[in-house]
Amino acid sequence: MSYTLEQIADHKTTASCWVIIRNKVYDVTGFLFDHPGGAQVILRYGGRDATAAYEPVHPSDALDKNLPPEAHLGNLSDSAVQELKEAKQNVTKTREELRVEEARNNKPPLSRMINVQDIEDVAKSILPYKAYAYYASAADDEITHIENARGFGRFFFHPRVMRPVSGCNTSTTMLGYKSSIPVYISGAALARLGHPEGEANLTRGAYKTGIIQMISTNASLSYGQIAAARGSPDQPIFFQIYKHKNDETAAKRIREVESLGYKAIFLTVDALIPANRELDHRSPHYLEDFENQGRSAKRTEDAEEGDVDILGTAGGLIINNDVDMTWERTIPWIRSVTKLPIVIKGIQCVADAVLACEAGVEGIVISNHGGRQLEYALPPIEVLYKIRKERPDVFDKTEVYIDGAIRRGTDVLKALCLGATAVGLGRAFLYAQSAYGEAGVVKMVRILQREIRFGMESLGVRTVKQLVPEMVERVDWQPVSAKL
Amino acid sequence: MSYTLEQIADHKTTASCWVIIRNKVYDVTGFLFDHPGGAQVILRYGGRDATAAYEPVHPSDALDKNLPPEAHLGNLSDSAVQELKEAKQNVTKTREELRVEEARNNKPPLSRMINVQDIEDVAKSILPYKAYAYYASAADDEITHIENARGFGRFFFHPRVMRPVSGCNTSTTMLGYKSSIPVYISGAALARLGHPEGEANLTRGAYKTGIIQMISTNASLSYGQIAAARGSPDQPIFFQIYKHKNDETAAKRIREVESLGYKAIFLTVDALIPANRELDHRSPHYLEDFENQGRSAKRTEDAEEGDVDILGTAGGLIINNDVDMTWERTIPWIRSVTKLPIVIKGIQCVADAVLACEAGVEGIVISNHGGRQLEYALPPIEVLYKIRKERPDVFDKTEVYIDGAIRRGTDVLKALCLGATAVGLGRAFLYAQSAYGEAGVVKMVRILQREIRFGMESLGVRTVKQLVPEMVERVDWQPVSAKL
Amino acid sequence: MSYTLEQIADHKTTASCWVIIRNKVYDVTGFLFDHPGGAQVILRYGGRDATAAYEPVHPSDALDKNLPPEAHLGNLSDSAVQELKEAKQNVTKTREELRVEEARNNKPPLSRMINVQDIEDVAKSILPYKAYAYYASAADDEITHIENARGFGRFFFHPRVMRPVSGCNTSTTMLGYKSSIPVYISGAALARLGHPEGEANLTRGAYKTGIIQMISTNASLSYGQIAAARGSPDQPIFFQIYKHKNDETAAKRIREVESLGYKAIFLTVDALIPANRELDHRSPHYLEDFENQGRSAKRTEDAEEGDVDILGTAGGLIINNDVDMTWERTIPWIRSVTKLPIVIKGIQCVADAVLACEAGVEGIVISNHGGRQLEYALPPIEVLYKIRKERPDVFDKTEVYIDGAIRRGTDVLKALCLGATAVGLGRAFLYAQSAYGEAGVVKMVRILQREIRFGMESLGVRTVKQLVPEMVERVDWQPVSAKL
Amino acid sequence: MSYTLEQIADHKTTASCWVIIRNKVYDVTGFLFDHPGGAQVILRYGGRDATAAYEPVHPSDALDKNLPPEAHLGNLSDSAVQELKEAKQNVTKTREELRVEEARNNKPPLSRMINVQDIEDVAKSILPYKAYAYYASAADDEITHIENARGFGRFFFHPRVMRPVSGCNTSTTMLGYKSSIPVYISGAALARLGHPEGEANLTRGAYKTGIIQMISTNASLSYGQIAAARGSPDQPIFFQIYKHKNDETAAKRIREVESLGYKAIFLTVDALIPANRELDHRSPHYLEDFENQGRSAKRTEDAEEGDVDILGTAGGLIINNDVDMTWERTIPWIRSVTKLPIVIKGIQCVADAVLACEAGVEGIVISNHGGRQLEYALPPIEVLYKIRKERPDVFDKTEVYIDGAIRRGTDVLKALCLGATAVGLGRAFLYAQSAYGEAGVVKMVRILQREIRFGMESLGVRTVKQLVPEMVERVDWQPVSAKL
């Protein structure tokens, strides 16, 4: 069955809503109110081609998973395909599109990247604003986001000298899987917003450099596509899950990734409710103003007066989460579904680290979601330090990971000295693949490895096990960076 | 009886001073030296029309309350009315008037406001300078004003995870009256400087959102007009009082508001003497220079060489206050006048919080008047924290409120964790109604409610009672805001 | 005897050096190497008119005190006087002179000055650079100078409410002499650099406002002229002395001031050696560059390569001081010369405060010379706080004063709460008299009095005696000033 | 034997590589992979004249030490010499060369230098960028580099008054050798990058001022040339050594300097591995962009994608170091080679200071290599302070030196109060000789001496022995410098 554009055009209401995606026609009427991003965003494309908006934020299996077969109405007619193609060619590029094109053409060569921040800077310059705003945004006034980084600054080293360091080895294991450096790729959503190959860049880069990738529930490739991008079936990958409030839906997801060969379940517990990420929230207005070159354009009153809903890209991702999880109920339930090790991601205080141990999980991630959820959550390095001081037994009972604002080998080493097994980088890897694809990911790992090895040698150790709490000190002043 | 402009023009001295207000003629000779703002400011308008200056800073019943019937001389003649009207039309707008007009025409739509600061920023851009200077000014170098806000920054959360939070409820009670969120509108003077409907915007906004308004002694609408603006007779409103040094005058005021249906008396004890608010003080000079476009105009020597009186809008408000109040005398005296609950507003140290408990008042407000009175008063959150540490029994004996520099849901939650029942916002609501009238007030409450609920859910609680001191920590560093 | 310019012109070497001052001719050959400022600066004017350079930095009796009668050679001839006058008229004004003239013509009226900093700002804009550099300069990187001020910022108040404050009285006594506010004018050199009437402005302003002036050894009026400027013989004035290394010379100076009616001796002990005040030191080069408008003029190699002497105005003032004073020797020696009370100015640590008590002096001034001597001396308020904590008995044994960076009534009150009797302002008063003469001095005292009274009332006290340590707290953070 | 340019031109590969240096021809094929800076940098000059690049970074004896006699092929032919000369004249100056020329022509006279920072500022303005980047660079984000300086800022003085200070003497001894001030010239590489006479400027300046120079292993003059530059055979000089991993090579070096009259061995233990000095690393790219005046030139992809080697000038210096030194093995081994006193340079924590004492060395230098090696090493003054607090016995067992970010006499005095014997300045002296040659070195010492003497007098001491820990206090705030 094939359709003309005219036939489709009328179906643009909640009564009947059709969209075109990759020259196929779908009836999404029944799905409108199940859409995690809300009905409104679909209706904006009702009766017309939605491909450009749909593509970068949905994995390839999203239509199959979410629509019944009968909603797959058929194809566009050949003439309609031709019409769409021509229309696309005739569209004038927006100022934003021209800016991005220009920036991409002038980005510095990868060889000039000598630290993680360099790569982030390039990525921020070449990302479409919408993607930038989604990746970079943090909660409220971004204080926790900033303090995550400043927190590391309060930890100084006690380097040891006159110790043999030849043959220094940066490798470690996570949940029994080997990693070339004590760093993993933390699950972060929507990699295809930054680069067409998205999460696969990370998978391939991880393989080449021997590190482990954790995949986000909200990946923009399907879990299967990512598993298929592995360099070998032995390449370990982990899964980050937002537990759906419906246990059966959640169980189905866990079983899917387990059967695809994922090796661990990282259960996120700190981001169950949409947060106030203002950069992301303001992004549509920013772009509107940008296109108008600052001229006082007709300002759209696009929200009700009293409306305080969260907009932006993030708005649609966190939905249907189980906000009533408990240690008593949820951990045993996961155990009943899978034999994979369980790691709790989002521990933010000592008391919960202790409860996690009592619940018998294989690991915890000290994390405040990169400062994207509750403003004034403590910096992870501070929480780690508190656990070390108040409850060092935690490190004997479970593996401890940490993420948030890690940029340097010295950040990694501070966490390891205090007891962490490895540290996660999320945004940094998104930036790397956005700016330089797979090569950017490889380069970033190489940079970190060089910095970690140098740091270990300078501290006087040959293996990560030799990194001990006595090698770091929390000082009572805040350093100033010349680069800020 | 009716008058021509010529007849009035001669009466402009302390010997005989007449003014025109809303086309009526008043003999204010006898009142000159009782005027809280001083005789000088009236004499400036002696013998002519004072309406524009008079209106926004006086409630409608001010003339009736302050002038004897015989001073109400009569009306302007019709031709005089006509003359005034024409004169007004012929007046060239000042640069300042044009600036405000332009700013108001270009203010962003309310839908773009996503946090409290956004609204303040808009208000500051559209307020007449004089109003801005009065609202925004703080004491001396504004250090306490700034530190009030920075103080909140030193408190971080210990968020709890894996706790059920569905159905999270932000409501609480104040002195037994229900409030939809633990936030009230703190009494702040002269709302009509910012918006023609003034305090009524706040009353109506409070009704729509289910929060409680405290009304200032120096409101620019009469206490009756505000009471009449309530959405229903049950809507609770509180009264903030500056006790007049004459007990009988003070008692009359209390009895008036009680009979109008006000439900509590908040006695201000920290702002009995005019403070050095330099922005307000310098406001006349700023405007003079602004009109001259920076050109070196003839500078008026408008004060005696040795003169160090406080000028500005605030100058006239704090006067005739009782500066000799004591716990022993004043509290029993109020009890003798009214059965309403008494709250002491302006507690600034632990010792006085304890004395207030011993005096048996129903509540205290930890406040330094928004940094507008004594420079280097401690930030309220620090005082609250000290009471929690040193005298936690205070929280069992009286309700504790706090105000000053609250901008975010997280600020509110920190105060509640430490033991506060609710927090007051004064200037923020003035800005909201200045910028967007009643709708601005509603929007601000909605924003705060969203932030408070999100914060509660992220901390792992379902009710405000579950917020406990263990959930906050005072850290030993000062965060940096990206937005400063 | 009278001289032509030609007759004088040849005498410009160390063999014979004559100068013209106020149309009189002096042979200064014998004095060259006793000149506190060094021979070089005199030789620069050898054989010609030195009046303009000489006048503002020497008291009127300097020639009489320092030159023997026979060195007073006689007068200029009438034609020489005429020649000098014409030459002066033909001189083109320098850029710097034009700048100062312009700035003075445009300075804001005194009525606009509402705080101490306002006046300092005006003074800095209208002072000749050389005077500015001398007044404003501090040691090395000016860290102690800045920290003196920041130190006060770490002290916050515990204001008390519900206490009667009507009739609040700001007066106190110093060494038994009454002062209208707990503030004195600290001795600071060379007031005539800033205003032709110099120290007399301070004396008259002190009289009008009822405060006490301390006069510097390096005053630019003679001690007698200053004594004569008093409003009445009862007006108390104090003397600040740099003890000459020759006891007899020093004794002569003490006896002179005692006989002139000075009431106390403040012995400076922290500024016996010329310090590295770079602003002052660089001042000649700055002016040279300024006249050249930044054009790369021929740079004068005006010092030997290895030369590291201190230049600038200050260079010549501190010389011939007794650098070997001891508690054991010096205090008894002063007692043997005079009955006046002795105050040690320049105490910078607790141990020396205790030694001063043991030496039985009537008072100490905690001071680091306004940050003009040893960089990294502790801020005076910190030293005061340490004495209060570690040796509170000091306050029972001697009067304690403090100076350095006091700008606000709140600064004064913090010092008084901690135990100080009064505080000194030096530079601030120099600025006041430079900008506005005597009226500026009066205005500054009025401002301080208003701020002190307001602060006392806000703290809940009626007299300075009621200011107690419990009213201040040293906090563990540093406030940020909006005005910095 | 003599060669034409054509004959040489073909030898530019790893198979056969010839270079011209000072009109002599060398076959460096066999040395390519022993070159500390790597083969690549030599190959860049293969087959042509390498003099300009070679000269400033190699001592004069480098060719003799490193090449066998047969590799000294012979001379350029006369015509070839002429050709090279003409080619050099025809070369257009680069923008960078013109900038440096202009800056050198306009540098301020030495007489205007009044503190150490002044001289550094001049040096930075006149140094070629490459030299600047090598001298100024520090590790990673330069945090330790900055914190080294900020660390001193947290130490304040307790100056003592009323103590005799005439005849104050700044001299001390180091390892038994006299020094006019407690300051030495710390070994820093490649002085000829900044000035043609390089390290000899330092040697001569040290002689003139009576201080001691430590010479770097990586000096750009030969150890013999430096020894020969001494003012007398008695002038003490010390040697800083990077121990070669081959013991015999290392022993040869030690014996060489001992026989040349060097008086002590400072063994560097904190800089055995090339660090990430980004300014230096980025220097080639900076210069490329600078020549292109910011125009988007063809960016060279000059490194492999995954390449993370350290580039820049420093890259080639640290190589072949012994990274497996131990207290047990290395110290006795040095003792077996030489009788000279041994000082360990690069102690960064208390534990290693104690181990050094136990190893019986004559001294330690608390140093983090000027922030050029491990980022987040503690500031030396903090390590010194910790040793004073935790293990004061260290000061009885060995001499303690300190270097890093010392700029002022007060910095020196703080270190001495805490127990240091003397302090080292490295970069500062490189800057001094770069900007003003030997005269700059002399001036810098004079400045420091003036500042140290003034500080001693102001603290109330006459000798360095009288400087005691009670005279300094570590404060709990961070000062702000007006000059930052």
Task: Tell me the residue range of the domain where A249 lies.
Answer: 116-276+313-474
CA D167/CA C323 separation, integer angstroms: 10
The pLDDT, as a whole number, for residue D59 is 83
**pLDDT tens readout for residues C340-362:** 999 999 999 999 999 999 999 99
CB contact under 8 A, C410 and B308: no
Span of A274-278, B58-62, D134-138, D392-396 with lowest mean pLDDT: B58-62
Q: Using CB atoms, which chains have 3+ pairs under 8 A with C?
A: B, D
CB neighbour burial string for D178-204, b if at least 16 within 10 angstroms, e if fewer:
ebbbbbbbbbbbbbbbbbebbbbbbbb
CA distance D62 to chain A (A): 28
CB D321 within 8 A of CB D329: no
D155's tokens = 């130490």
State mean pLDDT over C142-171. 97
Q: Do both A151 and A231 map to the same domain? A: yes
Q: Which residues of A are catalytic?
A: 242, 270, 369
Q: Closest CB to D162: pick one of C147, C326, C374.
A: C326
State mean pLDDT over D93-99. 93
pLDDT under 70 in chain B at which residues? 294-312, 314-318, 481-484
D48-49: strand order across its sheet? D2-3, D72-76, D24-27, D18-21, D48-49
CA C206/CA B142 separation, integer angstroms: 30
Q: Which residues of D are catalytic?
A: 242, 270, 369
CA C314/CA C134 separation, integer angstroms: 7
Residues 6+ apart with CB under 8 A from C233: C261
> Looking at chain C, which residue has its C-alpha nearest residue D103?
C296
Name the residue with higher pLDDT: B409 or C310. Answer: B409
The pLDDT, as a whole number, for residue B315 is 59
CB contact under 8 A, A146 and B482: yes
Is D154 an interface residue toward A (CB < 8 Å)? yes
CA distance A374 to chain B (A): 6
Counting Cα atoms < 13 Å in the Cβ hemisphere of D353 gives: 30
The pLDDT, as a whole number, for residue D87 is 87
Q: Do both C61 and C186 map to the same domain? A: no
CA C48/CA C25 separation, integer angstroms: 9
**pLDDT tens readout for residues D129-151:** 999 999 999 999 999 999 999 99
Mean pLDDT of chain A: 92
Q: Closest CB to B165: pick one of A323, A347, A377.
A: A323
Last residue of a domain, one of D41, D72, D90: D90
Q: Closest CB to B349: pick one of C115, C158, C163.
A: C158
**pLDDT tens readout for residues D365-377:** 999 999 999 999 9
Q: For an interface test with C, which of D102, D117, D157, D161 has the most C Cβ atoms less than 10 Å from its Cβ?
A: D161
Q: How confident is the model at residue C219 (pLDDT cuts 50, 70, 90)?
A: very high
Burial level of B165, CB count in 10 A (0-12/13-18/19+)? buried
CA distance D40 to chain C (A): 44
Q: Do both D369 and D421 map to the same domain? A: yes
**pLDDT tens readout for residues C361-373:** 999 999 999 999 9
Last residue of a domain, one of B90, B125, B159: B90
Q: Closest CB to B352: pick one of C110, C161, C408.
A: C161
Q: Do both D199 and D73 map to the same domain? A: no
A296 phi/psi in degrees, rounded to 5: -70, 85
Burial level of D405, CB count in 10 A (0-12/13-18/19+)? buried
The pLDDT, as a whole number, for residue C433 is 97
The pLDDT, as a whole number, for residue A445 is 98
Q: For an interface test with A, which of D137, D141, D285, D296 has the most A Cβ atoms less than 10 Å from its Cβ?
A: D141
The pLDDT, as a whole number, for residue B420 is 98
The pLDDT, as a whole number, for residue B36 is 73
Is A479 an interface residue toward D (CB < 8 Å)? yes
Whether residue C79 lies inside any domain: the answer is yes
Q: Do both B169 and B270 map to the same domain? A: yes
State mean pLDDT over D52-62. 83
Q: How confident is the model at residue A484 (pLDDT cuts 50, 70, 90)?
A: very low
The pLDDT, as a whole number, for residue B311 is 62
The pLDDT, as a whole number, for residue B303 is 47
Measured between beta carbons, which residues in chain C are less than 8 angstroms from residue D480? 143, 146-147, 150
Whether residue C102 lies inside any domain: the answer is no
CA distance B463 to chain C (A): 33
Whether residue B238 lies inside any domain: the answer is yes
Mean pLDDT of chain C: 92
Q: Do both B176 and B122 map to the same domain? A: yes
Q: Closest CB to B439: pick one of A150, A305, A374.
A: A305
CB C125 within 8 A of CB C424: no
Whether residue C470 lies inside any domain: the answer is yes
Is D246 an interface residue toward A (CB < 8 Å)? no
The pLDDT, as a whole number, for residue A315 is 59
Q: Are strands C172-174 and C363-366 parallel, antiparallel or unpaired?
A: unpaired
Q: Which residues of C are catalytic?
A: 242, 270, 369
> Looking at chain B, which residue has its C-alpha nearest residue C115?
B140
The pLDDT, as a whole number, for residue D484 is 42
Q: For an interface test with B, which of A376, A385, A390, A391 has the most B Cβ atoms less than 10 Å from its Cβ?
A: A376
Q: Do both C71 and C193 map to the same domain? A: no
D306's tokens = 């995954």
Q: Do both A153 and A64 map to the same domain? A: no
What CATH number corresponds to the domain at position B12?
A: 3.10.120.10
CB D350 within 8 A of CB D387: yes
Q: Do both B53 and B194 map to the same domain? A: no
Is D199 an interface residue toward A (CB < 8 Å)? no
CA D102/CA D232 separation, integer angstroms: 37
At CB < 8 A and 24+ separation, what contacts does B65-68 make?
B66/B31, B66/B34, B67/B26, B67/B28, B67/B31, B68/B30
**pLDDT tens readout for residues C171-195:** 999 999 999 999 999 998 889 999 9
Is B414 an interface residue toward A (CB < 8 Å)? yes
Q: How confident is the model at residue D311 (pLDDT cuts 50, 70, 90)?
A: low
Q: Mark whether B54 is an active-site residue.
A: no
Q: Do both A85 and A166 map to the same domain? A: no
The pLDDT, as a whole number, for residue A89 is 86
Share of chain D above pLDDT 90, in %: 74
Q: Considering only CA atoms, which of B200, B207, B217, B203 is closest in space to residue B257?
A: B217
Q: Considering only CA atoms, which of D82, D75, D78, D87 is closest in space to residue D22?
A: D75
CA B129/CA B125 separation, integer angstroms: 9
CA C343/CA C384 separation, integer angstroms: 16
Number of domains in chain D: 2
The type of residue at D27 is D
Whether residue D106 lies inside any domain: the answer is no
What CATH number corresponds to the domain at position A403?
A: 3.20.20.70
The sign of the torsion formed by the CA atoms of A224, A225, A227, A232 equals positive
The pLDDT, as a whole number, for residue C484 is 42
Counting Cα atoms < 13 Å in the Cβ hemisphere of D424 gives: 31
CB contact under 8 A, A378 and B473: yes
Measured between beta carbons, which residues in chain A are less than 8 angstroms from residue B432? none
Whether residue B479 lies inside any domain: the answer is no
Is D115 an interface residue toward C (CB < 8 Å)? yes
CB contact under 8 A, B109 and A299: yes
The pLDDT, as a whole number, for residue D407 is 97
Helices B278-291 and B129-136, interaxial angle, to 10°?
Answer: 160
The pLDDT, as a whole number, for residue A288 is 86
CA distance A258 to chain D (A): 33
3-class SS of residue C38: coil
Whether residue D456 lies inside any domain: the answer is yes
Last residue of a domain, one of D72, D90, D108: D90
> Looking at chain C, which residue has its C-alpha nearest residue D162?
C326
CA distance A128 to chain B (A): 21
Q: Do both D24 and D138 map to the same domain? A: no
Q: Do both D123 and D222 map to the same domain? A: yes
CA A188/CA A426 separation, integer angstroms: 6
Whether residue B289 lies inside any domain: the answer is no
Is D319 an interface residue toward A (CB < 8 Å)? no
